[in-house]
Amino acid sequence: MKNKDKILLGILGAAAAGVAIGLLFYTEEGKKQEKKLKTLRAIGPIHWAAS
């Protein structure tokens, strides 16, 4: 394997591990935060500046 391939494989492996850990620790509190962020995105950036 070339050095470029090893680097790319390492990056993809780290990303997959990050996703797996994120899903493992995704809690109810995280769902509430996600809902809040979706609401803020729907309101728009002007509301973000005011809060």
pTM of the predicted model as reported, rounded to 2 decimal places: 0.48
Beta carbons within 8 Å of 48's beta carbon, 6+ residues apart: 40
Whether the Cβ atoms of residue 47 and residue 40 lie closer than 8 Å to each other: yes
Domain count, the chain: 1
pLDDT in tens, 1-51: 788 889 999 999 999 998 887 776 776 677 777 787 777 777 666 655 555
Instruction: List the domain range (segments joined by +) for residue 36.
Output: 3-50
